[in-house]
Amino acid sequence: MRIEYICHACLFVDSGDVQIVTDPWFKGSAYCGQWNIFPKPVNTEILDKAQVIALSHGHEDHFHEPSLRELPRAAKVFYPYSWYGGTTEFLQELGFKDVVEAAAQKTYKLSPDTSLTYVVNSLDSIVVIEAEGKVLVNVNDALHSFPPKIQDLFITAIKERWPKIDTVFCGFGGASYFPNAIHCPGKDDVEIGEAREQLFAHSFCRIVHGLAPEVAVPFAADFALLQPEQRWINDVRFPRARLAEYFRQLYPEAAESVRIVAMYPGDVLANNQLVPNSPYRSQFVEGGLKHLLEEQYRDEIKALTSAPQIGEEDARRLEGEIIANVNRRKDLYADQLGSIKFSIKVQDCPISPCFNVSFEDARPQVTRSEHPTPDSLLVVRTSSRILRHSFASDWGGDAITIGYGLDVDVFDPATIQSSLDVACVRLLTRQPSASHYWKQEPLRMARHLISSQTTRAWVTKAVLNPSGDYSDKKTNDLMREWMFRSKCEVCRACDLPLLDDKFAAAL
């Protein structure tokens, strides 16, 4: 098996008798221009040979329309069956004739010697490729941001079915505006950002230790933010080149049998041996490539300084669009509406840029002013383009919640402790929820849970014990405390090792 690392989560897998592309995002930006591939790919021509496209889930950095348009339409496309429909029709509209909505746990023959299986976790999935006795487990984003108990369920299920795993690719970096885009008194953004990235790196090592492959590769974190106020987030990333050493510190007994291999665009794994073809290897400075960001995105960075402003007529239309979207979403927070008052500072609106949102008898009200109103709980800083993208489609809100499309200034810790900040942000998105989807597509939802055995196991546990180790609530409550803790306190609360001074300095 030959695996070429294209960029981010995109791999080109040649099993010997079939060529497979995974999670294509290799052309252009994602999340309404917020995410930019970094470092850029160096060999996308090889993707023209694709016979199979294996998509793990629907987030734009794994399922990218402009990139999909560059791939051969004759390729057979696989996408995991989920509770949210419409994917098959979308792919067919792009020109792909052979689309398979793959059932969880079912093995599909791609060729006489190669097969593919999805292990589904809610809206994410793990992709397992088998070829001539070799097993590649592509975890992508499906586990490292989930609680340890959920990770363990999937690790056990995978190992029961595939006791010997040759290669693992697994995500190790974080998406989502929380906690990096939340700013409040006393919070050290950089320290908490570092702790968050260490948590994801820690999860990568934990997953790899459980799956025990011969080789593990950290990936799916090749993106950079270009907005001046967010560039610091690029700098707090856990360096992939340091993960082998971190794994050794955590699991010294396993470090001899599991190799952690850092790959860069153009590198190849040939039968699990690294072929270091990437031209970036000769460009490292202090072990990294951060110095290339200005060079690769010079024009895009320059364009940010001269972004067009919206006129007054457009601003009035935006006011109506905000009211319509908040009205659409308000039922999710019916018990909190009386407490919700916040301001949206639309940064490309030159006159009265603050759109102040409140509720009167559960009806959303929007006023405009030069400055946020004194009783605002928080200020959301974003652009009209991001807001409109968020309002435009069911998953448009990903530009905000995943893509760092805003910054939030919170004035009172009580707002965070009561999760009112979450309510304010979510009112500006348009994302379907599984609980509401039950009513629209009950048969599809039921089929999804029946076929996704491991997902069903943890969802059942979470429903039966809403404050337990499998619930979002417990995880979210723990993370919300990050806003009021030091990095050391966060590490202790999350059972992360305090790194020795030498290793910490190297990071």
What is the 3-state secondary structure of 326-375? HHHHHHHHHHHHHHCCEEEEECCCCCCCEEEEEEECCEEEEEEECCCCCC
Alpha carbon dihedral 298, 180, 505, 145, in 10-degree steps, equals -110
Q: What is the pLDDT of residue 365?
A: 96
Which residues of the chain fall below pLDDT 70? 498-507
d(CA 450, CA 256) in angstroms, rounded, equals: 39
Contact partners, residue 9, CB within 8 Å, separation at least 6: 22, 23, 25, 56, 61, 62, 140, 141, 171, 219, 220
User: Considering only CA atoms, which of 256, 263, 315, 328 is closest in space to residue 6?
Assistant: 263
pLDDT confidence of residue 503: 61
Backbone torsions φ then ψ of 170, nearest 5 degrees: -145, 140
Q: What are phi and psi of 72, to 5 degrees?
A: -60, 130
**How many Cβ atoms are within 10 Å of 346's Cβ, its own excluded?**
26
Position 490 scores a pLDDT of 85
User: Do the beta carbons of residue 168 and residue 217 sit within 8 Å?
Assistant: yes
Amino acid type, 366: V
Torsion of CA 397, 98, 53, 20, to 10 degrees: 170
**d(Cα 231, Cα 31) in Å, to the nearest integer?**
16
Q: Give me the chain's average pLDDT, please.
A: 93
Which tokens belong to 419?
């999760």
Tens of pLDDT, residue by residue over 238-281, are 999 999 999 999 999 999 999 999 999 999 999 999 999 999 99
- Are 144 and 157 contacting, i.e. CB atoms less than 8 angstroms apart? no
pLDDT single digits (tens) 224-233: 999 999 999 9
**CA 334: distance to chain centroid?**
28
- Domain 2-302 bears CATH identifier 3.60.15.10: yes
Number of DSSP helices (H) and strands (E) in the chain, helices first: 19, 23
Do 430 and 391 contact (CB within 8 A), yes or no?
yes
Residue 259: the pLDDT is 98
Cα distances from 212 to residues 4, 156, 290, in angstroms, run 22, 11, 31
pLDDT of residue 269: 98
pLDDT tens digits for range 286-336: 889 999 999 999 999 999 988 899 999 999 999 999 999 999 999 999 999
Distances from the Cα of 336 to the Cα of 136, 356, 420, angstroms: 47, 17, 8
CB atoms within 10 A of CB 427: 24
Which residue ranges does the chain devote to CATH 3.60.15.10?
A: 2-302
E strands, 149-288, in order: 167-171, 182-183, 215-219, 223-224, 259-260, 268-270, 273-275
List, by residue range, all CATH 3.30.1050 domains of the chain. 312-426
- Enter the pTM of the model: 0.95
Q: Which fold has domain 312-426?
A: Nonspecific Lipid-transfer Protein; Chain A (3.30.1050)
Q: What is the phi/psi pair of residue 151, to 5°?
A: -55, -45
